[in-house]
Amino acid sequence: MKSKNEWRTDPEYVSLVEDLLAQPAVKKLANYTQHHHSNRLQHSIAVSFDSYKIAKRMHLNYRNVARAGLLHDLFYYDWRTTKFDLGTHAFIHPRVALRNAEKITPLNDMEKDIILKHMFGATMAIPKYWESLIVSLVDDFEAEHEFFSPLRAKLARKIRKRRMKTTW
């Protein structure tokens, strides 16, 4: 996503997810840090919106991608501190997200697969649909982007400062 609010400028996207965004269960994702520099709601919207644009360009089911992408990390714990006996965070949290998502909206088979398989690569669960693969790849990309972009900006500022010093 080019900016935090880019998704608001796409009326079709907004119409696909506005009922979900109005849900307290989705809103409260803003209270959880995701990749150090972003909260879980910002991350979920970025994954949903970027995946939606790709799916639309590829003539795939962009409705399912937008909605399930938004719900793919619908869990409420800090993954950096909470550990589970039953498996790793990568294995557990898609299942928790699916259970929470089912409480707020009916989900079709593709939407369930998108949520459940979004950790493909870290887990062995192979996506059944192209739509699931898109969300999984965009999720990886956003995680990297959210983690590194503030560091990149900091580095760019330092380089600029040093250049200014050396030109004198």
Which residues are at the interface with Fe ion (CB under 5 A)?
A: 73, 139
SS3 of residue 127 by DSSP: coil
Give 150 or 159: the residue with its C-beta nearer to Fe ion: 150
Q: How far is the CB of 43 from Fe ion (least distance, A)?
A: 6
Q: How far is the CB of 118 from Fe ion (least distance, A)?
A: 6
Q: Give the C-alpha separation, 92 to 73, whole Å.
A: 11
Give 110 or 137: the residue with its C-beta nearer to Fe ion: 137
Give 81 or 167: the residue with its C-beta nearer to Fe ion: 81
Q: How far is the CB of 55 from Fe ion (least distance, A)?
A: 17
SS3 of residue 144 by DSSP: helix
Give 50 or 139: the residue with its C-beta nearer to Fe ion: 139
Give 34 or 61: the residue with its C-beta nearer to Fe ion: 34
Q: Which residues of 72-89 are buried (b: 16+ CB within 10 A; e: fewer)?
A: bbbbeeebeeeeeeeeeb
Q: How far is the CB of 30 from Fe ion (least distance, A)?
A: 15
Q: How far is the CB of 27 from Fe ion (least distance, A)?
A: 17
SS3 of residue 103 by DSSP: helix
Q: Give the C-alpha separation, 139 to 146, whole Å.
A: 10
Q: Give the C-alpha separation, 80 to 34, whole Å.
A: 9
